[in-house]
Amino acid sequence: MLKVMSLVLFCFSFQSSALEKACNTLHSLNWLIGNWHSENSKSKFNESWTRISEKTFEGYGQTYSIVENKVVSAETLRLVEMSGEVFYLAKVTNNALPTAFKLTSCSENSAIFENSHHDFPKKIRYQLNNDKHITVYVSGEDDKGFSIEFTSKNGGASN
């Protein structure tokens, strides 16, 4: 019985360290690479991600108002792996500097980035629903916020 318990504990510790390791690299986020699109009656949303190197992804997000017939917001995005951690950097037009969010949790199909010191958002979560759909959850205090369901414009997520 002691051998079985030791083996189970060993497997759990290996699984735990493997999950932690995945959150320290961009490799687990390869599914994000590509062009993503969403649309409702008032707006069109686009987000795209490109791998620049093993330690850097660059992205771009844009919201187009159908009602106003113009781009109403745009942001440049970057995922950077450094010093054993992963950071999400968002540069929006109304901020002089990018805002950094640290990858705090991940799995093979989700990633949560957080910055508790930022006004809004405090948390950004990407969820891979299947190879053609992702949901982005953006939230502030008390997890209040919004979500956008994106569809792949290039045939599905790449790994």
Residue 60 inside a domain? The answer is yes
CA dihedral 52, 130, 126, 65 (to 10 degrees): 90
> CATH no. for residue 38?
2.40.128.20
Instruction: Examine residue 121 and say whether the peptide bond preceding it is cis (omega within 30 degrees of 0).
Output: yes
Span 112-133, pLDDT tens digits: 999 999 999 999 999 999 989 9
pLDDT score, position 145: 97
Residue 123 inside a domain? The answer is yes
Question: Is pLDDT above 60 for 45?
Answer: yes
Band (pLDDT 50/70/90 cuts) for residue 72 is: very high
Write down the mean pLDDT value for the chain: 87
Residue 159 inside a domain? The answer is no
Number of domains in the chain: 1
3-state class (DSSP) for residue 131:
coil
Q: Taking the chain, what is the end-to-end CA distance rounded to the nearest angstrom? A: 41
CA distance 109 to 126: 8
Which of 19-28, 31-40, 84-93, 99-108 is predicted least confidently?
A: 19-28
CA distance 56 to 39: 28
Residue 158 inside a domain? The answer is no
Question: Is pLDDT above 60 for 18?
Answer: no
The b-or-e profile of 117-132 (16+ CB within 10 A means b, else e) is eeeebbbbbbbbeeeb
Question: Model pTM?
Answer: 0.83
Query: Bigger pLDDT: 103 or 3?
Result: 103
| Residue-range definition of the domain harbouring residue 31 | 2-152
CA distance 142 to 71: 30
Give percent of the chain above pLDDT 90. 76
Burial of 53 (0-12, 13-18, 19+ CB in 10 A): exposed
Residue 157 inside a domain? The answer is no
pLDDT score, position 3: 44
pLDDT score, position 154: 78
